[in-house]
């Protein structure tokens, strides 16, 4: 038995849809941290709850949310319904509102990863009053530049290491144009698989994209093979096909130049999925009441997975310091 006063998996109504949360903590009075997962459709509780509870759950209430049509929130009956960026941003708004109400908080903390940084940056400009601070990891900035730079990383790596198979595959799919590949998601997955294998997704333990997601799913205890594996797999590709074409048109370097909340960027030095050079340039130009860049030197796209102890200690220190400053000000 885990020593958590709160350890609850539940469905809530979100914008007319039933969506799943895992909430864990030791004291309902603690600050709330909502993890906004990547993908779209790649849920994060498989590495958040097993790895971060020991570092964080005594001081914070941790919330993992499987977004619309992702993971435990996938509903086969809804598979023909369209999704939009505006819809999922409103989902986030309602989840934040639910957590503020349930735990009697004026504000909660947001931790966005990859696609979760997109969703967070669509939500934050309109709702800063509900957020105590934003923590970005694998920060998305500009869809067209992102895809061009990520493709070029894979090509240059394959060329430098004489990987003729990778070069042939990359030549076949061709460079993305305005962030898009000729065959869409199928070509994108080929590029992402090589990007992950070459260290741009996972730095210390290079692996293909399927193992990087599937192994945590199977070993975390957060999901059951039946029926959750079906939901997870179908949900991942459903969300990608529904939303990706809109994602690559986003340009936060033009549209999100100011945020009215404290901002921390937890960025892996070796990230080539959402290239760190893009993320750092956006962050340096961003106007915010407080901002801090936190590098992870032995990580790529997911420092929460690659350096979990350091990541958890850093998040704990940064957020508790903010909490102390707010208490002192009051």
Per the structure, the count of domains in the chain is: 2
Helix (H, G, I), strand (E, B) or coil at 133: strand
111 and 31 in one domain?
yes
The reply to whether 187 and 56 lie within a common domain is no
What is the rounded (10 degree) CA torsion for 273, 233, 45, 120? Answer: 50
Does residue 316 belong to any structural domain of this protein? yes
Same domain, 130 and 247: yes
Q: Alpha-carbon distance 56 to 182, whole Å?
A: 43
In which domain, by residue range, is 164 found? 146-197
Same domain, 221 and 99: yes
207 domain-assigned = no
CA distance 286 to 54: 33
Domain check: are 84 and 221 in the same one? yes
The predicted structure's pLDDT at residue 273: 97
Whether 230 and 260 map to the same domain: the answer is yes
Q: What is the pLDDT of residue 314?
A: 98
d(Cα 117, Cα 242) in Å, to the nearest integer?
Answer: 18
Q: Which residue has the tokens 């990580």?
A: 299
| pLDDT tens over the chain, length 330 residues | 357 999 999 999 999 999 999 999 999 999 999 999 998 999 989 889 999 999 999 999 999 999 999 999 999 999 999 999 999 999 999 999 999 999 999 999 999 999 999 999 999 999 999 999 999 999 999 999 999 999 999 999 999 999 999 999 999 999 999 999 999 999 999 999 999 999 999 897 766 656 666 677 777 778 888 888 888 889 889 999 999 999 999 999 999 999 999 999 999 999 999 999 999 999 999 999 999 999 999 999 999 999 999 999 999 999 999 999 876 765
Q: Is residue 247 part of a domain?
A: yes
Are 296 and 153 members of one domain? Answer: no
Is position 279 within any domain?
A: yes
The predicted structure's pLDDT at residue 1: 39
Whether 202 is covered by a domain: the verdict is: no
Distances (CA, A) of 318 to 196, 233, 321: 29, 34, 5
- The predicted pLDDT at position 326 comes to 76
Contact 299, 307 (CB under 8 A): yes
- pLDDT value, residue 303: 96
Shared domain for 103 and 224, answered yes or no, is yes
pTM: 0.94
Residue 29: how many other CB atoms lie within 10 Å: 10
CATH of the domain at 280: 3.40.50.1820
Domain annotation covers residue 205: no
Judge whether 298 lies within some domain: yes
Count H helices, E strands: the chain? 12, 8
The verdict on residue 71 lying in a domain is yes
Q: Are residues 264 and 245 in the same domain?
A: yes
If asked whether residues 66 and 89 sit together in one domain, one would say yes
Same-domain check for residues 221 and 151 = no
Does residue 251 sit in the same domain as residue 127? yes
Sign of the torsion angle spanned by Cα atoms 269, 139, 133, 111 = negative
């Amino acid at each position: 038995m885990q020593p958590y006063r709160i350890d609850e998996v539940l469905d809530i109504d979100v914008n007319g849809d039933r969506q799943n949360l895992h909430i864990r903590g030791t004291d309902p009075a603690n600050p709330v941290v909502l993890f906004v997962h990547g993908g779209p459709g790649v849920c994060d509780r498989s590495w958040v709850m097993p790895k971060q509870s020991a570092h964080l759950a005594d001081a914070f209430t941790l919330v993992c949310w499987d977004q619309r049509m992702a993971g435990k929130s996938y509903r086969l009956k809804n598979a023909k319904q369209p999704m939009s960026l505006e819809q999922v941003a409103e989902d986030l708004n309602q989840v934040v509102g639910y957590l503020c109400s349930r735990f009697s908080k004026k504000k909660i903390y947001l931790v966005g990863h990859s696609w979760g940084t997109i969703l967070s940056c669509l939500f934050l400009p309109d709702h800063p009053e509900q957020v105590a601070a934003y923590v970005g990891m694998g920060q998305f900035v500009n869809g067209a530049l992102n895809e061009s730079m990520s493709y070029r990383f894979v090509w240059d790596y394959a060329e430098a290491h004489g990987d003729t198979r990778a070069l042939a595959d990359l030549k076949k799919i061709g460079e993305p144009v305005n962030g898009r590949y000729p065959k869409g998601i199928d070509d994108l997955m080929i590029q992402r698989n090589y990007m992950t294998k070459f260290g741009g997704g996972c730095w210390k333990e290079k692996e293909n994209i399927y193992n990087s997601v599937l192994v945590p799913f199977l070993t975390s205890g957060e999901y059951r093979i039946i029926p959750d594996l079906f939901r997870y797999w179908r949900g991942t590709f459903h969300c990608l096909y529904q939303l990706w074409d809109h994602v690559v048109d986003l340009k936060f370097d033009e549209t999100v130049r100011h945020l009215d909340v404290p901002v921390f960027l937890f960025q892996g030095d070796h990230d080539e999925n959402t290239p760190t050079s893009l993320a750092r340039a956006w962050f340096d130009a961003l106007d915010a009441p407080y901002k801090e860049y936190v590098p992870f030197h032995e990580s790529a796209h997911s420092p929460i997975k690659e350096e979990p102890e350091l990541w958890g200690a850093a998040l704990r220190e940064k957020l508790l310091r903010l909490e102390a400053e707010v208490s002192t000000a009051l």
